[in-house]
Structures are given as C-alpha cells and as structure tokens.
Structure 1
Amino acid sequence: MHTPPLPATKDVVLIGGGHAHALVLLKWGMKPLPGARLTVINPGPTAPYSGMLPGFVAGHYQREDLDIDLVKLARFAGARLVLGAADQLDPVARLVRVPGRPAIAYDLVSVDVGITSEMPQLAGFSKHAVPAKPLGAFARSWDGFRTKSTATNIAVIGGGVAGAELVLAMAHALKQGGRLGAATLIDSGPVLGQASPEVRKRLRRAFSEHRVSVIENTGVTRVEPDMIHLEGGRMVLSDFTTGAAGARPHDWIARTGLDHQDGFITVDETLQSSTPGVFAVGDCAHLGFSPRPKAGVYAVRQAPILFHNLRALLTGDPLRKYKPQKDYLKLISLGSKEALGDRFGLQFSGAMVWRWKDRIDQAFMEQFRQLPKMETPDLPAEHTLDLPATLGDRPMCGGCGAKTGRGALQAALSLIPPPQRRDVLSLPGDDAALLKIGDQRQVITTDHLRSFCLDPLMQARIAAIHALGDIWAMGAAPQAATANLILPRLSAELQQRTLGEIMMAANDVMRAAGADIVGGHTSLGDELTVGFTVTGLCDRDPITLAGAQPSDVLILTKPIGSGVIMAAEMAGEAPGETVAAAMTLMCQPQADASRILSGAHAMTDVTGFGLAGHLLGICEASGLGAGLDLAAVPLMKGALALADQGIRSSLFAQNHAICPELSTDGAAALLFDPQTAGGLLAAVDKSRADALLAELRQAGYEAAKIGTFHAGAAQLSLIS
C-alpha cells in the first residue's frame, strides 16, 4: 500500500548560518522531526568557520577550506535555504523580514547571526576599510587584496587577541610573497589589555618576529584609502585596513522588542529570549544567567541544547538547560604555522600546538564536508524486471524530470487531428499555440515544474519565468496567466503561508512582465508542483521555429547547465555557490532579450530538450542544418566540472537520443542538458548579429554567438 508523506504542521526558522545553526542542521538531517518544516536564512550559500580564518589569511588554507556549504547542508537536513540577510524579527506577529521577498512566518525561531566589527562612527571606515566580521565579506576582500594587489601596507584597528591574530596572519602572508611593507596594530587603549601577562609577552614577541608595529593608547580620527589618521596628527600608511575593535551587534536586533544587553539578545538557561519560542545562540546572544565573552566554543556547545529544545517545544518534551564552561582552551594563531595555547593560566606554544589546532579545526569541518549519503529506498521484493533501469541510480530532478522526452511528445502530438476551429491557427511543435480573435492574434502556452527547490517562493519565481519563456520566444507581449498548483500535504495554516509566498512571488514576476494572474487551481499531492498557463498578444506575426535562413547566426541569451547543476544539488554533490549562481540565472527574465531580438527570423527558448534538441527543432521547421561552435556556448559556473564527474540529469539519455551522432565528451554533454527557465535561441541576420549581441550584453545578458545555419539536411554538427 502506498503511504503518502506526512503533512508538515509547524515552521522552524533559523536566522543565520552560524556554527550552532550549522550543527543543528547536521543533527536535524540525521534525525528529522516529522511534521516540522525547517528553514534557514543566510546572506550567502556558505558560512565561514571562524577557527580557520587566521590560517586562511596567512595562506595556510584555501578559500574553500574555510566555508561550510549551507546549500549541501540544507539539502541534507531537508531544509529550505533562503539566501538573504534578515533585517527584522517581529516576535508578536511571528514574522521574519528578508528584503526582496514576503515576510517568512514561523512557529519557532532561533537567531545565530554573529556580530559585526563595523565602525560607522569612524570617519572613512565604511568606505575605505573592511570590518573583520562578518567573516565572509572580510575573507573575500582579503583574498582579492592578497592575490591581485601590488600594495604592501596593512593595518588592524583593535588590539585584542582577535586583532593580534589577524595582523600576524596578514603580515605572514605578505612576507611570504616578498612584499610586506608596514604592518601596524592600533588600539585606543593598551594592546592585549584583557590578556594575561604571559599571553601578552608571547604575542609581543610574535609582533617583533613578523615586523608588526604596535600603536596603543591612541585613537583613530579618520581612515583614507591608503592612510590612517591618528589623534595628535600622526599618520599610518595602510593600503588594506580592517577593524577588529570589539563586538557590535547587528542594529536590527535592538528593534525586535526582545530583552537585550547592549543590542545582544538576552537568553535564559534554555537559550530562549524574553519571548518564549524565540531562541538566540552564538555571539549575538547574551547569557543573562551567566555572562561569558564572545567565543565560538560557546556556540558549538550550545548546539545540542538548541537542537533538543526546538524539538522539545514541538513534541511537548521537557527542556534542557545550557551550562557554559567556566574556562576553555584558547588556541591563538601566531602567523606562521605556530600557535599559542592558553588554559587555566598555563601557556604552551610552537609548531606542535598549531598542528593540534589544525586537527581540531579540520575535524570540526570534516563533519560538514562528508555528509552521510542519502540512501535510495529499497525496491519491493517483487517488481517488474525493467523497473530498476527505469528508475535509474539518481533521483529525478524536478526541473528536467518534469518533462517527457522529445520523441515521446512528438509521437503523442502526431495523434492529434488538425484544429477544427478557424480561429485556432495550428503551429505544431512551436513554443505556443496561435489563436485569432477578430484582428487580434493571441498565443497561449502552459508549463509546470516539479519542485527541485525546497523554497516555494524561489520555485514559483523560476516556474513563472519558465512559463513566460514560450511567450517571449514568439515575440509576444505577456497578457494573462492562471496558476496551477499541487501542494504537498500541510496543515491549514502552513497551506495558507505557502500559497501566500507562491502567489506573491508569481504575481511579482507576471506583473513585471506586463501580465496579470487571473485565476488558477490548487490541489494536494505528494510534492510541490508549480505551473502556469500564460497568454500573450502579438502586434505582428509571431516568431516561430520556421523562418531561419542560410547564413543566419545563432544567438543564445543565457548560459546552459542548470539541469546537471540541479541534478547534482538534489544528490548533495553541487557546491553551494554553483547552485546559487544557477538560481540567479534561472530567475533572469527574458523580456528585454525578446524585445531586442524582435526581428529574429526564428526563435525558441531552451528548456527541457536541451540546447541540441531545441536547435534541431528550428532546423527541422526551417529545413536547414546548423553548425555549433561548442567553444562559444556559454556555460553556467561549475556545470562543466559536474558533467566531467559523470553527473547527468534524468532526461539526458532521451535528449541525446535525438542527436546520437554528436559526442557527449566534455562540454558537448551539456548540449543535451535539459534547462529550466533557459535563455532564448534566435536565428538572426548575419549583418545584425554583432549589434544585437552588444545590445543584449548591455542589457545584462550573458549572450553569445554560438553557430550558423546552412542549407542542407536538418541536422546538427560541431564546428571549430
């Protein structure tokens, strides 16, 4: 008997991808809670690990070594990942605001957004300096400076242990490259004033070894692009200035109405704030029952308590109390592969301590790098012989797997007789059907996508762009749309929340395109499916597949590769930044591209049949052959690397069967990669191609000339 998925009834939202939340996601993936729907909100697809930041700055680690991949982690946990920075939490309405999308409702919420080292009150800092926190932005800025700049002078404002670690690491990196100029550590009070005498002594020796100058008990008055002005008129050369002067909370926290200490959310022993069901952990939290300094070790120890208490409030189990340790092991990087250890008043330093620190850090990160593989459910003991081959060894990707193969579709369409109505103008195989109402020409199309994204809003946005592609491909102006939705089983409240997000996202896309949503239909099923039927109006003959001319140039308006990227993402194998970049491209409307290409001889949008399949459609309708310049075809970031690993979308084999004579080696494999919300593929007059391409690029499209048409049989070939 088929057992349907259990309905979700409660929303748990994690704001921020800090260390505690990352560990909660890991634990949740290993032990999900039926009925709970998990969301994590973070500005980017990765979250840097603070323990390895000094090592990265010094050059001991690569950039990717530093990051926890939240896309992979969220997929493992079955959580939706919302890419954006929360800037408002309303504990009364139970809403989280993320700019650019509707507010996100929650039943339970936890905040782990860390701290910032921004100095808005310091003249010139925001424009000419980089705060050490948030770590991600700092790491990107330093990476660019270290690898691309010829400048040599650096300075750190803030002489605590964190500032000391940073300036030593920066000095070491530049010294190794043979270009260290001035390295300066500045503090308005005594440098390392909170550290023990023994720690201060060892760090000051490290300053001397790395040629770091120390300026203490002196305030900074202004920061300029290559100079810092100090009190008393002194100036310090600095081409890269960073601030590590203490911890500042994010400004929006103080506006939540929650009890706070200087902007840090006050929590009790259960890690809840003054509003039950609102938790805070990590550096953004103030332990009101037992204050502690800001340190990552507390966030790591808070994770098991947070994980238990979130679940306990949903299941009715007793809450647990967090008991912070009185002291903890401090391991301080000294620039080179040496470190200083400090605990219970004892100090120890050297290369062996660095190796110890490195093992601890690598072990922490390894649990996120090697996530347990999602097991494929066992087949029943008795099944048809060909069932395993039909299922394949990978999950069906939602974007490409929503479509049948081109051959099966053509065979089915051939069974349909010609139109019986005179106002239905048949365009078999084209992107949209053509209707004539009086003197008005109207096109109509429909498209639906199985969910490949756990964020309903993002899924709706991409599905709307995908459906509009057929209208844009025919050179029509979008007019009206109806929504056709299948929701997974949800409680009544979660149905309302989900429908609200979907319809607001879809409405934004349709209205921006000039269309209105005029109705639709909803039903319940095992998984989310979002689709739209869209109409468009033509003030001239529509652009069809038939019309390409010999010597016409092929222009493609978007890179390809979304199928392999989403197939890899669903299997937990795609890097988060690759997935985020692909999502951004899938959300790019083609309205301006359609307008620019309005004089094309033939046009289509590249979707489920892949670039090769859709190009072959133009060739067959136009009675021409086409040559593709494979090297000119734009590819999505990371798509080729995934294809070279042998990753394929579920529709790949059927797409390749359309053109079996073409190679599938290297980038050629992506010609058969089904696309979701892909670009327009246009046949344009050779004399206009360069001007059109320049206009497309000016409008923000990663467009390219990828081939030409020629007289001959309707087939494809690769040209060098």
Structure 2
Amino acid sequence: MTPTVPFTRDLVLVGGGHAHALVLRAWGMNPLPGARLTVINPGPTAPYTGMLPGHVAGHYGRDDLEIDLVRLCRHAGARLLLDKAVGIDRTRREVMLESRGPVAYDVASIDVGITAEMNLAGFAQHAIGAKPLDIYAARWRDFSTRAAKGEVAPDVAVIGGGVAGCELAMAMAFALRASDVMPRVTVIEAGPQISGVGNMVRRRILHAMAQLGITVLTDAKVVRIEEGAVELEGNKSVPAALCVGAAGAFAHKWIAQTDLPLTDGFIQIGPDLGVIDDEAVFAVGDCAVMPHAPRPKAGVFAVRAAPVLHHNLRAALSGGRRKTWKPQKNYLKLISLGGKSAIAEKFGLAVQGTYLWRWKDRIDQSFMDRLCDLSTMQVPQPRGSMAIGAAQILTAKPLCGGCGAKVGRGILSGALAGLAQPSGEVVTGAGDDAAILRKDGGGFQVISTDHLRSAIEDPAMMTRIAAVHALGDVWAMGARPQVALASIVVPQMSEALQARTIAEITAVANEVMAAAGAQLVGGHTTMGSELTIGFTVTGTRDAMPLTVSGAQDGDVLILTRPIGSGVLLAADMAGQADGRDVAAALAIMSQPQHREAAIISPHANAMTDVTGFGLAGHVLAMCEGAALDAWINANAIPVYAGAQALSQAGVSSSLMASNRADAPVEGAGDDLLYDPQTAGGLLAAVPATVVAQVITALEAQGCAGHVIGRLSAGSGRLRLS
C-alpha cells in the first residue's frame, strides 16, 4: 500500500480569478504531495470576463458565464472558504477574512481582480460598478427583467467610454430591444472621444452604437449621481434607472491598506509573478502590476500567466527553481457589438463580422470547457484474490461523508437489542435521540454522542456542521444544551499544520456551543486517515424530555429543513453537483436550530431530528413507538435546490439503499425520502389545533416550518397521500 504523504505546507489562493481557476485545474491533475490547498472567494462561482457581454446581451445563460469553484476545488482536493479577504499579515503569514478567523499560509497567491466603483457623489447609493463582474451581472439580470415587465424605465447610463463601457452599453441596448423594450442608453465619456482603440475601430464602434440607438456624450464631466439620473457639469442630466460605472480600473481598498508594495493600489510583482521582496506571496491578474513590463488590464494576461504561476507556486512550496513570465506586448482584441457580431483589432488593423463573433465564441467556450471537463473520482478496482464479498464492496459506490457514512437502521437496531433495559437513574437508553437521566433534586439530563466523517475539505465548516448535528439530539428532546466534549481525528500532518487545524476547529466548536448555551469542556484528538469530527453533548430539562414515541393520533408532522443533503454531498464528492447548490445547502446545514426547538417543543408530543436514516426512517421510528400510521404529502416536503434533479439522474448516497429497505413506504415514494441527512431538520408531531400557531411563530423568527403529513391510529405504516 502506498503511504499517504502528510501535509506539511499550506498554499492559500486568495480570489477565484482566471489564473487561479486554471491553477486549480492543473493542480487536480497533478497535486503536490504534502501541500494543503485552500481557496478564498466570496461566492461559490466566479464569472468569466470574456463571456460577460454575451451574457448581458442574452446570448449566454448564467450557467454558461460562471466558473464553478466548488467543483474545481473538489477536483483539486482543495478547501473552499466562502468569505472575503480584507487584509494580509505578512509577518504572521495570515490572510484576514471578513467573517471568520485568519487563515495561515506558507505560500499565498492573490488574484482578486479589480473594482469599477467610482469616487463620485451618490455612486455607492445609486450606481453599480462593472466590476466585480458577478455583482454587476446579478444587478443587470434584475434590472432587465423588471424593465421588460415595465416596472422600471429602460434608461441606462454608462460612465466610461472605453472598450468595456462601449461593449456593455451595446450588450444592454441589444438585450432590451430583444425584449421589445425601446431603451435609452447613454455612454458618458470625460475625454474628447471613446478610448482604448485605434481610429478604425473607433469609427466602427460608434457606427454600431448609433445603430442600436445609443447616445455618446464626450467631454462630459459627471458631478453626482442621483436616483434615476446622472447629473453632468453645466446643469445637464442623463436619465438612468440603471447607472453602470466603467471608467477605469480601481484597486480593492483592502489591498491599499496592507504593507504590500503597491503602485496606485495595485500589487507590484516581478518576472516570476512573486510580490517584490517577498518570497512567500504571489499576485496575478488585474490586481497586480509589473513595473518592469507594464500592461493594460486584460483577462488574456491572467490566462497566459497561469502555467507559470502554477509552476512557481509548486517551486515555492518544494524549494524548486522558478520560471520567468514574459507577457506579450500586443494582443488580439475581440469586441462584441451587442448582437452576434464582433470587431477584431491587432497591430492597429481591424476587421468586423459575424464570423468573428463565432470565433470569439469558440475561444470562450473552449476556455470554459477546460474548467468544466474535470476528472471524476475513480473507484478502486479489485486486484488478485480476495475474500468472498470484498470485491462487491470495493466496486460499490464510494463511501459518502457526513451521515451518509452511517450504519443502517436495521443493523444498528439489531446490535442495540441486547443492551440492558434502563433502570435506576437511567430513564431511557438506546433507541431515542439521546439517553435520559434523572437528576438529583429533580429534573432530567439528556446525553448523546455523534460524529461525522468529513464530507468537505474545510475543517471549520465541517466542525460547525458537526456541532449543529450533535446538538440536534438535545434540541429534539426539548432540552437546553449544557456541556460538550469534542472528539477530533485529523489527517497526518506536520506539527505546524496540526496547530493551525486544531485551533480552527476549537475556535468554531467553542463559538457554536457557546451560542447554544453549552460549554465546551474538553475532548480528545488523534491523527488518522481522514478528518472526523464528533461531539458528546448533554442537555437539561425540568419536565420529562420529548421522546420519539410520544406522538398522538391526529398529530400533524412539521419539518423545519429541506431534505436532499445526502444526494448533494454524494454528487459533490463525484464532481457532479452545481457548486451554488452545494454552498446553499452547507449554509443551511451549518445554522443552529435553537429557535425552532424553543418554538416547537412546548407544543410537540414527539420530536426528533432527521439524520442518517432519512425522513422515512425517522417518521417510521415515530410511528413504531406510538402504534401510528403516517400519511405523508410528498409534494409538501421541502427539498434542497438541485437535489431532486440529481436524484432523478440516479445519484444517491451510499446509505440510501439500506434506508429504503429499513423503512418501506406504501405508494410511489420519492428516493429522497430515504436520503440520509446531515444536520437535518427537526421533525415534530404537533396537535392539529396548534399547527397554525406554531407555523406563525416560526415565520416571525425567520425560521421555516413545513406541514408534511399527519398521523393516525395504526400499526406503524408509512403511506404517501
């Protein structure tokens, strides 16, 4: 067996720009043993600049435009932190984040692009910069939809008459016209003419804009931006239900506040793409500047620099020799004209036509294909002689993380059947969410333990989810969390990385437990083959805690969270899930449910949390404990975005088959009924007379409550209604 190389160095990529995306692709094909890779980006996707005008014009959908960083990071074996960098401490070698603690690095690279936010009165309140692209693209989608419905005037003002401003103006005018809206689009340029191109291209762009009805104002100085208008010097006003800033490139403000070597806010780098006078930090793309070889801000340079950046990052981590990058002096400009036509310019020469748009389209699609055509996880193939049954297990689908790695309900029930019956201080033992103990002096204590095999690469997020998951057993019994012990297994790594990892895990665990009213009092750590995080938790309740068997005839079933997390995590592991869906699900899974428990528990006859046995398994446990039948309304069950389509395509968790066998449902049941949930919702049996009151109270606290079925006298059957 080939030994696993322990982690010894941390590489942190700040930003999901084009160069970093290509580095992730290359890294996944040939990772550097011993290097742990982390990516920091505000969102799960990053827009591709080359296709933005086509997207705005309506030629490409949102999915065509966006690079899926979740899939790329899964391919590369990297953890993705959905957060915004706000600083860097080069002495401590830490990247400071907006919403969580600092992330340590041994080598870091910055590729965060630029912003087009302008220092104009009213800009922040009434305008949007063309960059960052994802923010602008989202605003444009909303505006164009509302303009097509007649909810806002189709008046657009673009500040900046360079290539970017003109290209976006033509794209927006074309799209609005295609929606049967007659737009008023105005390009406002402070200089005497549109800039960034030669005379021949300028004439062609002006002609194309005139055909689209775009007004071009030159020598126009913007004084301020108001709601619905751009005020110009000389008491002139331009109508603007949407105002877009495209006049120049501006560095992110947080970079200017660092001690990095800067030129006008842009990071100075040398021929090796390393930050000048810092062997541990690199920068690339529009956020960087090469004093020895200044170049305009264009995506082509980031794409061309990616292979050199990839090589030099590996060299910095392994002590190898770095390469030098020499950016080309001239590059081809392909400018979209709104419709499916484009202008090409190089060496002062220009040509125009629809065939150039098709050429540009092929270039752009080829780039995106490189980032979408990723290798999938390979299932180990059995070799040689094996014990009977071993080959079948190896050729089955890979073991899921989270609750998808649990043992089936039937197997577990059989193993627990021989345990001694509760006695003395033990009120209830195995079989419910937690054991119930009598407290001296009155009241009750509940105790439970749970752990999760890591489903994602981020130890902090995995800790948050594991803590919420473990607390679910206490909340489900209507108890107040009391204390917690952590059980942590980390992969083999150097002492420095051990310290970083354990510090992250401990900080998050302490935060989640403290917010729930519990105290983290210690635990146990060890090294193993993979990250595993668990907690033993206790809680207290004055009255008898809720149990799974207390449901009554006529009760209504309320569920607080969607199902489908097992399918999403299985698809993510195989590189098949949409990164936005995975990120959205993780965000819900990491949220505590103390408010839901506080609202529901005073009214519930029975409650549990939906976890590894799937919704059907947990409903069945409620039915068996009270001799009831459950009628489930499949259409009322909330489902995580993307889970249904993946399930219908045949994606499932490795535990789903066992769950299906252990909890049969009468009727054409959806596979997601058997999907194992991690940090799943609370499932409560509530008297019908208080259901409306409970749902209203949940909504008032910003929580969700879904009525998914009802219970009636019976013999423990599950039926779809």
In structure 1, the partner of 2:583 is 580
Tell me which of 519, 535, 551 is aligned to 1:548: 551
Task: Within 5 Å, give how 1:202-601 maps onto structure 2.
Answer: 202-274=204-276, 275-419=278-422, 422-438=424-440, 439-599=442-602, 600-601=604-605
Which residue is 1:655 aligned to? 659
The match for 2:128 among 130, 145, 156 is 130
CA contact (8 A) 1:557 1:696 kept: no
Return the offset for 1:609: 0.3
Taking only aligned residues, the RMSD between alpha carbons, in angstroms, comes to 1.2
1:101, 1:505 within 8 Å by CA — same for their partners in 2? no
Distance in 2 (CA, whole Å) between partners of 1:387 and 1:702 is 44
Q: Distance in 1 between matches of 2:201 and 2:128?
A: 27
Q: Is the 8 A contact 2:230 2:239 kept in 1?
A: yes
The 1:664/1:136 distance shift into structure 2, 3 A limit, reads farther
Q: Please report how far the alpha carbon of residue 663 of structure 1 lies from its aligned counterpart in structure 2 after TM superposition.
A: 5.2
C-alpha distance 660-437 of structure 1, shift in aligned 2 (>3 A): closer
Name the CA distance, whole Å, in 2 between partners of 1:545 and 1:375.
40
Shift of 1:313: 1.5
SS in 2 for 1:384: coil
Alignment match of 1:686 (pick from 678, 685, 688): 688
Alpha-carbon distance in structure 2 between the residues aligned to 1:561 and 1:650: 13
- How far, CA to CA, are the matches of 1:392 and 1:511 in structure 2? 43
AA aligned to 2:654 is S
Q: Check whether the contact 2:379–2:395 (CA below 8 A) recurs between aligned residues.
A: no
What is the match of residue 630 of structure 1?
634
Aligned length: 714
Deviation of the 1:56 alpha carbon: 0.4
Q: CA deviation at 1:191?
A: 3.4
Judging changes above 3 Å, is the alpha-carbon distance between structure 1 residues 109 and 560 closer, same or farther for their aligned structure 2 residues?
same
Are 1:123 and 1:222, in contact at CA under 8 Å, matched by a contact in 2? Answer: yes
> 1:371 and 1:345 mapped to 2: Cα distance?
38
Q: Secondary structure at the match of 1:560?
A: coil
Change (3 A) 1:663 1:644: farther
Between the aligned partners of 1:408 and 1:377, the Cα distance in structure 2 is: 26
Please list the CA deviations of residues 63-119 of structure 1 after superposition, one character each: whole Å capped at 9, or x if unmatched.
110011000000000000000111111111100111221110000000000000011
What is residue 618 of structure 2 aligned with on the other side?
614
Contact persistence 1:160–1:191 (CA under 8 A): no
**Letter of the aligned partner of 1:30 in structure 2?**
M
In the alignment, is the contact (CA less than 8 A) between 1:28 and 1:77 conserved in 2?
yes
Residue correspondence of structure 1 range 667-686 to structure 2 within 5 A: 668-686=670-688
Residues 276-295 of structure 1: CA distance to partner in whole angstroms, max 9, x if unpaired? 21100000001121111100
Q: Which moved more, 1:615-624 or 1:527-536?
A: 615-624
Q: Distance in 2 between matches of 1:198 and 1:553?
A: 73
Query: For the residues of structure 2 that align with 1:270 and 1:669, how far apart are their CA atoms?
Result: 52
The one-letter code of the counterpart of 2:625 is: A
TM-score normalised per structure 1: 0.98
Residues 4 and 526 in structure 1, CA contact (< 8 A), matched pair in contact too? no
Query: Match for 1:604 among 573, 594, 608?
Result: 608
AA partner of residue 348 (structure 2): G
1:10 matched to 2:9: yes
Q: Secondary structure at the match of 1:232?
A: coil
332-341 vs 653-662, which moves further: 653-662
CA distance in 1, matches of 2:192, 2:411: 76
8 Å CA contact retained: 1:74, 1:80: yes
Secondary structure, aligned partner of 2:402: helix
- Contact 1:108 1:310 survives alignment (8 Å): yes
Q: Distance in 1 between matches of 2:15 and 2:195?
A: 31
SS at match of 1:398: coil
C-alpha deviation, 1:262, in angstroms: 0.4
Q: Is the 8 A contact 2:656 2:674 kept in 1?
A: yes
- Residues 76-95 of structure 1: pairs in structure 2 closer than 5 A: 76-95=75-94
Q: Unpaired runs of 5+ in structure 2?
A: none
CA contact (8 A) 2:342 2:357 kept: yes
1:707 is aligned to 709
Aligned partner letter, 1:33 = L
> What are the superposed Cα offsets for residues 2-38 of structure 1, whole Å, 9 maximum, x if unpaired?
4442100000000000000000000000110000000
The answer to whether the 8 Å contact 1:118/1:133 transfers is: yes
- For the 8 Å contact 1:159–1:190, the answer to whether it is kept is no
The answer to whether residue 106 in structure 2 is matched with residue 103 in structure 1 is no
Contact residue 463 and residue 677 of structure 1 kept, 8 A: yes
Q: 1:664: how far off?
A: 6.1
Greater alpha carbon shift after TM alignment, 708-717 vs 374-383: 374-383
Alpha-carbon distance between aligned partners in 2 of 1:688 and 1:408, rounded to the nearest angstrom: 37
Does the 8 Å CA contact 1:13/1:38 hold for their aligned counterparts?
A: yes
User: How far apart, CA to CA, are the structure 2 residues paired with 1:472 and 1:591?
Assistant: 7
Does residue 154 of structure 2 align to residue 191 of structure 1? no
Q: Which amino acid aligns with 2:139?
A: S
Question: AA paired with 2:6?
Answer: P
2-side partners of 1:691 and 1:227: how far apart? 47
State the distance in 1 between where 2:549 and 2:404 align.
28
State the distance in 2 between where 1:246 and 1:198 align. 22
TM-score normalised per structure 2? 0.98
Superimposed CA distance per residue, residues 316-353 of structure 1 (whole angstroms, 9 cap, x where no aligned partner): 22110010101001100011100000011111111011
Q: CA deviation at 1:384?
A: 2.9
Is it true that 1:55 corresponds to 2:54 in the alignment? Answer: yes
Aligned to 2:112: 113
Determine if contact 1:559/1:702 at 8 Å carries over to the other structure.
no
Alpha-carbon distance between aligned partners in 1 of 2:428 and 2:705, rounded to the nearest angstrom: 31
Q: Deviations over 1:536-564 (max 9, x none)?
A: 01121101112111111110011111000
Secondary structure in 2 aligned to 1:618?
Answer: helix
Contact conserved, 2:10 with 2:35, CA < 8 A, in 1?
yes
Structure 2 letter corresponding to 1:444 = I
Rate the CA distance shift 1:400–1:663 in 2: closer, same or farther, 3 A: farther
Shift of residue 301 of structure 1?
0.9
C-alpha displacement at 1:516, in angstroms? 0.6
Residue pair 2:404, 2:566 contacting (<8 A) in 1 also: no
Offset of residue 479 of structure 1: 0.3
Q: What displacement does 1:467 show?
A: 0.2
Give distance in 1, aligned partners of 2:107 and 2:462.
24
Give distance in 1, aligned partners of 2:183 and 2:318.
Answer: 60
Structure 1, unmatched stretches of 5+, are none
- Do the aligned residues in 2 keep the contact of 1:562 with 1:639 (CA within 8 Å)? yes
Q: Residues 443 and 543 of structure 2 are in contact (CA less than 8 Å); yes or no, is this contact kept in structure 1? A: no
- TM-superposed CA distance for 1:392, in Å, is 4.8
Amino acid at match of 1:145: F
